[in-house]
Amino acid sequence: MHIVIIGGGFAGINLAKDLANQKGIEVTLVDKNNYNFFPPLIYQVATAFLEPSSISYPFRKFFAGKKNLKFRLGELLKVIPTENKIILNNGELHYDYLVFATGAETSYFGMENVKKKAIPMKTLNDAIEMRNALLKNLEKAAICKDIHERRKYLTIVVVGGGPTGVEVSGMFAEMRKNILLKEYPELQTSASNIYLIDGGDALLSPMSEDSQKDTLKAVTQLGVIVKLHTRVVDFKDDTVFLGDGKTIQTKNLIWAAGVSAKEFEGIPAESYGRGKRMATNEFNKVNATENIYAIGDTSIQLNDSNFPGGHPQVAQVAIQQGVNLAENFKRMVQNKPLKPFKYKNKGSMAIIGKNKAVVDLPTPKMHFRGFMAWMIWLFVHLMSLITYRNRINTFYHWMIAYFSKDQSLRMIIRPEKRTKGDL
């Protein structure tokens, strides 16, 4: 049995890991990057509190010694189900079973100007681009003589009141307080604002009401200006246009507002559900296909009675689906009945700043905030990193940042070739 997995995120890597050294099963994981990375912490790379290697690890290094696991660097272009074949940008592969674990991509809700000019927060490349952009804007602000122009460089607008938006705005607020004036004395008399914008009526809307209230209070105390019931409708000429007719002058629009799955040539139109997610049965087999499966953010399963509208697009769903599908592939080899997927909600959490976080646990139903929640968040995220090396490296940088209220990773690293006049 040859299984081809497209995508090496939470779902794909856990599926591959649980099939390692399994007799009768060969696995090829295909990804356009040669590394796995940990999305919940990319904002810390973007704000220069972690280095990229702290949250990433090469697939080939991870697969070393696992005889039935192979890696293929490539990007999927087309599926030919009648031939059990996929076409990549650098060749083709045959499969017995094909698994989509392609996650989701940033959605800009059709706003082309926002897509072109905003800074997304989805991939490790996005995080590095964001770090470079923000650091370059600080350097430009330091030499800018025009007060109004300087304020544009220093003002940050974060769109999206989910965990990523809350966490990145909180990090910016702490940087402004502990780092900015210390390292940029030229900006001591300059005004700057951090905005957090969301179209809903609360931050962290999927979490408990207690978490929502605690989060709003905490980010506001950090100096973040929160605008709820507010939509961004355009971004041009260094101006963010809001749905209520108001505007914000800035050169830094960070987009953490929405995601959408991807469509692939060769997959029948009737296989897709809401948000371009592939509709699957209780075993994660894609509807209207014979041997194609989908797990993680790219799938939507309506057979779980506890989640009739589909599972949330969160890491725990992806991890559990990867593990469950691995078990089912083993059962196929052994001619045993398959096990339907049932999501076990382990809770949700978000960090806001130093010693500030919120945690909701479903069983027993409990809510934590402040230092205790912050400690739980640190432990869970540390243990979720893929290797001991990542855990040790991340823990080391966190300890430096905690005691020094600083980090020494603010380097602008970029290709040598750049446009004339660019910093």
Catalytic positions, written as ranges: 167
Strand pairing report for 299-301 and 356-361? unpaired
237, exposed or middle or buried, with CB in 10 Å at 0-12, 13-18, 19+?
exposed
Return the structure tokens found at 27.
């696995």
Which among 33, 27, 29, 32 has a CA at the least distance from the CA of 55?
Answer: 33
Which among 244, 232, 245 has a CA at the least distance from the CA of 161?
Answer: 232
Measured in whole angstroms, the distance separating CA 285 from the mean position of its chain's CA atoms is 25
CB-based burial, 375-386: b 16+ in 10 Å, e otherwise: ebbbeebeebbb
Pair 315, 308: CB distance under 8 Å = no
Strand pairing report for 232-236 and 225-227? unpaired
Return the structure tokens found at 384.
């979720």
Pair 378, 219: CB distance under 8 Å = no
User: Can you tell me the distance from the alpha carbon of 73 to that of 134, in angstroms, rounded to the nearest whole number?
Assistant: 31
Rounded (10°) CA dihedral 265, 291, 27, 83: -60
Place of tokens 């950090």: 222
